[in-house]
Amino acid sequence: MSALGKAVEGLGETVLAARNVAKSYGNIHALKGVNFEVRRGQVTTLFGENGAGKSTLMRILSGVTPPSSGEILLDGVPVTFASSVDARDRGVSIIHQELSLAPNLSVRDNIFMGRELRGPTGVDFAEEERQARALMEELEEDIDPLTPVEELRLGQQQIVEIARALSINARILIMDEPTSALSASEVEVLFKVIRDLKARGVAIVYISHHLEEALQITDHAVVLRDGAMTAAAERRNIDLEWIVRHMVGENFDLGAPPTGYNFGPVALSVRDVSVTDKSGIELVDRLSLDVRAGEVVCIYGLMGAGRTELLEAIAGRQALSGGAIVLEDRDVSRLSIAERIQRGLVLIPEDRQRDGLVQTMSVGTNLSLASIKAFTRGLFTSTAREDALIADSIRRVHIKTGGADLPIGSLSGGNQQKVVIGKMLATLPRVVLLDEPSRGIDIGAKAEVFKLLAERARDGLAVVYSTSEVGECLSIAHRIIVMSRGRIAAEFGSDVTKEKIMAASGEAVVA
C-alpha cells in the first residue's frame, strides 16, 4: 500500500470550509465567527499563538467536537460530523499535536487500531504488518512494525502518528504540529510526503510554531488571534515578519543573556559522565561540564547527539555507566529523582504530556504535586498553604487559565508547558534543566518562557536548557555547548554566529 498516488484535476477547489464558526466553553469564547477553507491539492497553514483557537477549529473540522454556532461545508454541502470516526469515514484525518498512541501496543497495532483489517478467520495481522512496513519505508524510517511504541524515541512515535493518518488515504489531512519532535532529516522526508500528497489532490491543513519551516511548505496562510481570524494571504505575499505581526502585533525576540550581576559558585558539576544504552552503545561519552549559580547554559545538538540522555542522567532518569553528578559540592549520583529534587536539582522533560503532567488532575494539583511536602504535616494537608502556592505559581509563571480547578487539558500547549515549569520552580531549585522547553509552543509563549528563565537566573538559579533550534541558542544563554555523538564538540560565548554553531554540530549550513 502507498499513501501517495497520481496527480488529479481540480486542484485549488475548496473541499472543506468553516462558515461563521464559533465555539464557547462557558464564558470563554475559543472561536468568534471564524471563516476558514481548505483547498484541494494545497497546504493551508494556520498560524497563531497558543490559545488563539487553532486546535479548537481543527477539532471541529475533524469531528472531535461540535461548533457552538456556524456550519461546516464538505464539497459545498453543509455537514454535521457525529464523531471523529464519522469525519474519518468521510475523508478527514487529523494528526493531533499531543500523541494519542497506546504505548504498550506495537507500531502495527497503533496504525490500525479501531479499523483493523479483516480476513476470513479474523484480523489479518500479516497484511497489517505488510502495510505498516510499507508506510515506514515511505517515511524512510527503519522501524520494525512489531516494536512496542513505548520503546521508540519521541520523534519516532511522531512518525507512527503520521503513518496512522497516511494509512487512511484521507482527502483532507490536518497536521497539528507534526514536526515538533522530528529531526531535520525527518522533517525533510515529511515535506517530501506532503508534496506528493498535494500532487495527488489531498487538501492539507498545517499548523506549526516553527514559522520559517512552515513557510517552506505553505501555499496559503491564515492567522488566528484570540479566536478570530486576523489575516489571510497567498504564499507570495507573506514573509516571517507578516506572520509575527499578525500573530502578536509586534516583532518578538527571545531576549538576551541576563546581565548586571556576577555568577556565584559552581552549582552543578558533571564529571566524566557516560551513559550507555541496552546494546552497549555510548550515548554520552565521558562528558564534563560545570555550571555556576546565575549562569544560563544552552546545549545544542542534532537528534541523537546525546542532549536528552545527558539531562536525564543528571536528573536521575537515566543510569550512569561512569562519572559523577555533583550538586553544590555534594555527589548526588546515587540519589533518586525525588531526592535530587529535594536537594534542588529539577528537570522539565521534553514530553510534557507523558512525563510532566498528570492528565486526570487539575491545573492546581499539577502545579502543587512536586511540592506536596511543603504543605503536609503527617497525614494532614494545609489547603490554605497549597492554594497560596498554586496562586503564586500561576502569577509568577503567567499561566492563562480560567481557574486552578479546571482540568489540565483545558489549557493551550504553551500554558501546559508553563504549568510544568511552574511546578518545578515551586520546589525552589538551585539548578533547573530544561529539555526542549519550547517544543510545541508559539513564539509569544516561547518569549515568555525565556524571559522567566532569565529572571530566575538573576536570582541565582543555574539554568541549563537543550534545544535543536539554533535561534534559541542565540537568546538568553551566556554559554553555548554544542554536542555531537555524546561529546562536547565546541563551546561558545553569546557572541557566536549561527553558522559556527551549526558547523560545530556537523549540520550542513545552507547559504
DSSP alpha helix (H) spans, 90-142 = 107-111, 125-138
Residues in contact with 205: Cβ distance below 8 Å, sequence separation at least 6, in sequence order:
38, 43, 44, 45, 46, 58, 61, 172, 173, 174, 175
Same fold, 14-102+170-248 and 252-344+431-511: yes
Instruction: State the virtual CA torsion across 346, 352, 355, 356 in degrees, nearest 10.
Output: 50
Residue 204, burial from CB neighbour count under 10 angstroms (0-12, 13-18, 19+): buried
Please report the DSSP string for 181-224 in residue order.
Answer: T--HHHHHHHHHHHHHHHHHT-EEEEE-S-HHHHHTT-SEEEEE
| Matching CATH number, 252-344+431-511, of 3.30.70.520, 3.90.180.10, 1.20.120.10, 3.40.50.300 | 3.40.50.300
| Matching CATH number, 14-102+170-248, of 3.90.76.10, 3.40.50.2300, 3.40.630.30, 3.40.50.300 | 3.40.50.300
Strand order in the sheet with 322-327: 282-292, 266-276, 322-327, 330-331
Rounded CA-CA distance 348/430 in Å is 14
Rounded CA-CA distance 190/315 in Å is 33
Rounded CA-CA distance 358/315 in Å is 19
412-450: string of b/e by CB count within 10 Å (b at 16+)? bbbbbbbbbbbbbbbbebbbbbbbbbbbbbbbbbbbbbb
Secondary structure of the chain: what % helix, strand, coil (to 5)?
A: 35, 25, 40
User: Please, what is the Cα angle at 407 between 405 and 413, to 5 degrees?
Assistant: 120
Q: How many other CB atoms are there within 10 angstroms of residue 203's CB atom? A: 27
Domain residue ranges in the chain: 14-102+170-248, 252-344+431-511, 359-428
Q: Are 458 and 478 in contact (CB under 8 A)?
A: no
DSSP alpha helix (H) spans, 328-432 = 337-342, 363-368, 383-397, 413-425
Please report the DSSP string for 9-74 in residue order.
Answer: S-TT-EEEEEEEEEEEETTEEEEEEEEEEEETT-EEEEE--TTSSHHHHHHHHTTSS--SEEEEEE
Q: What is the largest CA-CA distance in the chain?
A: 74
Taking CA atoms, 481 is separated from 55, 465, 486, 493, 505, in Å, by 35, 10, 12, 9, 10
Amino acid at 504: A
Quote the pLDDT of residue 290.
97
pLDDT in tens, the chain (511 residues): 344 444 445 567 899 999 999 998 777 788 999 999 999 999 999 988 767 888 889 999 999 999 999 999 999 999 999 998 899 889 998 887 667 788 899 999 999 998 889 988 889 999 999 999 999 998 888 899 999 998 888 778 888 888 888 888 789 999 888 877 677 778 888 888 888 889 889 899 999 877 788 889 999 999 998 889 999 999 999 988 888 778 766 545 678 899 999 999 999 999 999 999 877 788 899 999 999 999 999 999 876 788 999 999 999 999 999 999 999 999 999 999 999 999 999 998 877 667 778 888 888 888 888 787 777 777 777 888 888 888 888 888 778 888 888 888 888 777 888 888 888 888 889 999 999 887 767 677 778 888 889 999 999 999 999 987 777 888 899 999 999 889 999 999 999 988 788 778 765 443 3
Quote the pLDDT of residue 4.
43
Residue with cell 498553604: 385
Q: How many other CB atoms are there within 10 angstroms of residue 275's CB atom? A: 22
Quote the pLDDT of residue 278.
78
Quote the pLDDT of residue 19.
96
Of the candidates 438, 465, 428, which has an alpha carbon nearest to the alpha carbon of residue 344?
A: 428
Quote the pLDDT of residue 229.
92
Q: What DSSP element (H or E) covers 464?
A: strand 462-467
Rounded CA-CA distance 350/95 in Å is 19
The set of cell numbers assigned to 125 is: 495481522
